[in-house]
Structure 1
């Protein structure tokens, strides 16, 4: 199983969740919301070969934690993944749009200078702005749009730009989400939970709940679950190589 976007450090019992991920042999991309959280979150992955830690600065926190961009620069050489980063165009963050865009561009610029990274990107209510920023840089690595909720026109543009997508059970349970996912090339899809924030049936999703997304994809694609599992694992190998 593959959870390509999970806030492992924000579960009430992160060490136990990490232990269970190791026991269940789940590949987890443990994203962070601030650079200061990276070192502690990385420690959760100790002894867990399939948990990777991603260096992030969440757009909803940028206006409060902008000063951590220097720490981001300091830690970037140690991080093979970048995220959660991006833009959030929701009404409650409209006043912070300028600093979000400025910070996102800085992160992309510095990631490009560092040789590019696999990135997990937030784009809620800001898909066009995120894609406009990505278009400014040639060698930033591989952008994965997590829980994409834009329009089909925006989706088409993202696909043409080489973006990948991580999808979760909650997204797949909605008509709009399933409709968007049906348009994404299968070789660009990975599963995620966005736990513990994302809930299904009032319960926070755990990393192993990506199994629900696998089954939902099987139904959407009209193929056997084993075929879906094979596609997703092949996608992961294509993305990260033989380090899976």
Structure 2
């Protein structure tokens, strides 16, 4: 199982979750919300072969913490993975949308200067702004649009830009989420939970709960659950083995 977008450090007992991840053999990309959280996650995940820590600055925090961008850029040299970054256009954060876009633009440029990174990207209510910046700045990095909620036209544009997508049980619970996921190219889809924020019946999704997405995708792809699982695994291998990325 593969969870490409999970906030491991924000569970009430992250150590217990990490031990269970190890026990079950799950590969996790641990996204972070601040550069300080990145350092904390490195300590939490030390010695865990299947956990990769991404450095990020969550767009919801940019208004108050944008001065930490220098720290994010410094830490980007230490990891192949960057996230959670992006732009949030929801009403609570619309006032800082321009600042968010500026920070996002700067981080994309840094990723390119470093040879390209795997990017886990937040685009709620701001798909157009995110795609504009990707089109302008990205040629080496691999953008993964996490829990994409844009329009079908914006999805088509994202596919034209060779974006990847991470989908999970929480996204697939809604009709729109399923429709978008079913329209995404099969070879560009990965699984995620967005735990502990992603939920299932009011309970936080755990990394191993990505398996809840497999029957839904198998039904959409007209294949077995095992074949859907193998497709996701194959996609992930392609992602991590990309020779265009900096180590």
Q: TM-score, normalised by structure 1?
A: 0.97
Q: Structure 2: any 5+ residue segments left out of the alignment?
A: 243-247
Please state how far the C-alpha of 1:209 moved relative to its aligned partner: 0.3
* Alpha carbons of structure 1 residues 97 and 138: separation in structure 2 relative to 1, 3 Å: closer
Query: What is the rounded CA distance, in whole Å, between the counterparts of 1:44 and 1:73 in structure 2?
Result: 21
Matched residue of 2:238: which SS? helix
Please state how far the C-alpha of 1:111 moved relative to its aligned partner: 1.0
Q: Is 1:9 the counterpart of 2:9 in the alignment?
A: yes
Please state how far the C-alpha of 1:171 moved relative to its aligned partner: 1.1
Query: What is the rounded CA distance, in whole Å, between the counterparts of 2:110 and 2:138 in structure 1?
Result: 12
Query: What is the rounded CA distance, in whole Å, between the counterparts of 1:159 and 1:83 in structure 2?
Result: 20
Query: What is the rounded CA distance, in whole Å, between the counterparts of 1:59 and 1:239 in structure 2?
Result: 24
Please report the RMSD computed on the Cα atoms of aligned residues, expressed in angstroms: 1.3
Query: What is the rounded CA distance, in whole Å, between the counterparts of 1:154 and 1:168 in structure 2?
Result: 19
Query: What is the rounded CA distance, in whole Å, between the counterparts of 1:113 and 1:214 in structure 2?
Result: 36
Query: What is the rounded CA distance, in whole Å, between the counterparts of 1:162 and 1:197 in structure 2?
Result: 27
Q: In the alignment, what sits opposite 1:197?
A: 197
Q: Is 1:148 the counterpart of 2:148 in the alignment?
A: yes
Q: Structure 1: any 5+ residue segments left out of the alignment?
A: none
Moved over 2 A (4+): none
Q: Is the 8 A contact 1:108 1:140 kept in 2?
A: no
Please state how far the C-alpha of 1:72 moved relative to its aligned partner: 1.1
Q: Is the 8 A contact 1:190 1:232 kept in 2?
A: yes
Please state how far the C-alpha of 1:219 moved relative to its aligned partner: 2.0
Q: In the alignment, what sits opposite 2:245?
A: none
Q: What CA deviation, in whole Å up to 9, does each residue of 1:5-45 have, x standing for no partner? A: 00000000001101100100001000000111111111121
Query: What is the rounded CA distance, in whole Å, between the counterparts of 1:152 and 1:139 in structure 2?
Result: 23
Q: TM-score, normalised by structure 2?
A: 0.96
Q: Is 1:108 the counterpart of 2:108 in the alignment?
A: yes
Query: What is the rounded CA distance, in whole Å, between the counterparts of 1:135 and 1:240 in structure 2?
Result: 22
Matched residue of 2:93: which SS? helix
